[in-house]
Structure 1
């Protein structure tokens, strides 16, 4: 399987750097020769169940040693190196909160474990970030799943980490809580933090980040902006919805073009299939102008994250 990469070249040193990383359990290969570099911003980690996402996150967090290759955070190896947690925050998929503690006590304990100079102030700031101040004095055992999740995020943010790893962070959150968490992650990325989160709900990833790392069967199948990834997929026709001042005449004009593989005309306009994204989008305005037709709308119809993900998984 080849990797579709749509990253732009950058001289910025990656905050998270995986170099030829593999991890196996006996004869089972969970992660196979993954090279990945993450810099500031928010990135979605995608893949079918069992693809190796959680194994990757556990190696980044120092829970697992790579069987081969290197996993670095801030230039330092994560395995057997607790000092990486000075700049790393983690929210694992497994819930590990003590129900007998209040939210405040749990987050404060995290601040003290990090030996922060002002743990109370740090805990207060983190709780405010996740909007949990009204419930901070209640026992965690009384919290909803979404509230428990926000408590864990606060504990991961208490030391203001440069790198944040989240495994299914939106689990159990209601729509308002989801929107707030998305805004929080956006803000961290814009402030120069490196955020990597996994989610099985593609709509969440699409709303939070256009940049993805897609793992299929333990390998890195695609990396970069999912819209650019789609345009690099030359093995699948690109589908466009087009409307114009004369759809029938435009359909006739397009059918003779080498870049066009199919045209369908219905009441809503034209559905055009093109073999090459760039060739078609450059040619379309010239074709319309030559035929005296005004273009009203040109939209890629299969450039959603859901389409890109399904194409990568099926290939």
Structure 2
């Protein structure tokens, strides 16, 4: 069971004050002649934001700059209007889970989280450490050395270290790496609860399914550049130059298929055991015409659903452009 405080919040207490906002303005970072991030601007506010991109796209570099561990070569990164770089006070509001291992293998899980609580100068470090360990369901292994943890257990203890001071902002770099399905579901549930409390949570991933399950809002980074921002379904619908695939079920799929082909409102129609797979060129035109075509053919529509309205479709398109 996940431990909750008397306030009922997943993180122990709901954030106080105004919601926190991270703002990146024309941020770049280069190493010699290598440009890792190039002119990225974005805002990250309350809720869950997915930072999506292939390996090597610059996601970790962006998160390190948001966390104050890396200076922008140009541009600015601010938290609630205050620059993060060389601002130790920002860490009272930030919790970071880096992709690389950041725990000391010779310490037990409890010793590590307790040390983090003391570094934050919390008034009751022992209670804070126990609460954070409970949130990630690691009580059973708290007295074991971190060096004996599995990859998934190390990920969870890193998450506990980010939560120990109950920050309103969380930066999570590939947080689900190495977790088994149960661990992933538990962490997803925790992230969703914390977002519902008003926290600002950004997590990076190259796994489309993870982002699609947690975040309706995405920021896409491709080759160090900001490729897209917004609701991935809306982004998909803006791709008017790409075919849109629909699954259509009706009272008479064969008759409807013949009517769609005769109407010319789709590029292709395929009859499958799940219904009709229709490839439409113009998303808006097809969704407007289909009910009319079905009515004229005297066929009742049962289901019309986009078969490619997924992050996989969005991501493939953005990487190719």
Superposition RMSD in Å:
1.7
Instruction: Note the alpha carbon deviations across 1:237-290, whole angstroms, 9 max, x for none.
Output: 111011212223322322355653332334543221222223322321222122
2:39 aligned partner:
33
Structure 1, unmatched stretches of 5+, are 1-11
1:123 aligned partner:
129
1:51 aligned partner:
57
Distance of 1:100 and 1:266 partners within structure 2: 57
Q: 1:201 aligns with which of 191, 200, 207?
A: 207
Shift of 1:159: 0.7
Q: 2:22 aligns with which of 16, 24, 33?
A: 16
1:214 aligned partner:
220
Calculate the TM-score normalised by the size of structure 1: 0.91
Q: 2:176 aligns with which of 170, 179, 201?
A: 170
1:263 aligned partner:
269
Distance of 1:152 and 1:165 partners within structure 2: 12
Instruction: Note the alpha carbon deviations across 1:147-193, whole angstroms, 9 max, x for none.
Output: 12111110110111111011111122111111101101111111111
Q: Does 1:161 align with 2:177?
A: no
Residue 14 of structure 1 contacts residue 37 of structure 1 at CA under 8 Å; is this kept in 2?
no
Q: Does 1:188 align with 2:194?
A: yes
Residue 19 of structure 2 contacts residue 199 of structure 2 at CA under 8 Å; is this kept in 1?
no
Partner of 1:192, secondary structure, is: coil
Q: Does 1:298 align with 2:291?
A: no
197-206 vs 12-21, which deviates more? 12-21
1:60 aligned partner:
66
Distance of 1:154 and 1:274 partners within structure 2: 47
Instruction: Give the alignment of 1:62-141 within 5 angstroms.
Output: 62-141=68-147
Partner of 1:151, secondary structure, is: helix
Residues 283 and 14 (structure 1), Cα distance of their counterparts in 2 relative to 1, 3 Å cut: farther
Distance of 2:279 and 2:43 partners within structure 1: 34
Partner of 2:267, secondary structure, is: strand
Residues 132 and 22 (structure 1), Cα distance of their counterparts in 2 relative to 1, 3 Å cut: same
Distance of 2:202 and 2:257 partners within structure 1: 44
Calculate the TM-score normalised by the size of structure 2: 0.90
Instruction: Note the alpha carbon deviations across 1:184-215, whole angstroms, 9 max, x for none.
Output: 11111111111111122222222222221110
Residues 139 and 295 (structure 1), Cα distance of their counterparts in 2 relative to 1, 3 Å cut: same
Structure 2, unmatched stretches of 5+, are 1-17
Instruction: Give the alignment of 1:245-284 within 5 angstroms.
Output: 245-257=251-263, 259-284=265-290
Q: Does 1:244 align with 2:245?
A: no
Instruction: Note the alpha carbon deviations across 1:51-103, whole angstroms, 9 max, x for none.
Output: 11111111101111112211112221111111111100001111021122111
Distance of 2:267 and 2:206 partners within structure 1: 33
Q: Does 1:289 align with 2:295?
A: yes
- List structure 1 runs of 4+ shifted beyond 6 angstroms: none
Residues 276 and 23 (structure 1), Cα distance of their counterparts in 2 relative to 1, 3 Å cut: same
Number of equivalences: 304
Distance of 1:25 and 1:76 partners within structure 2: 25
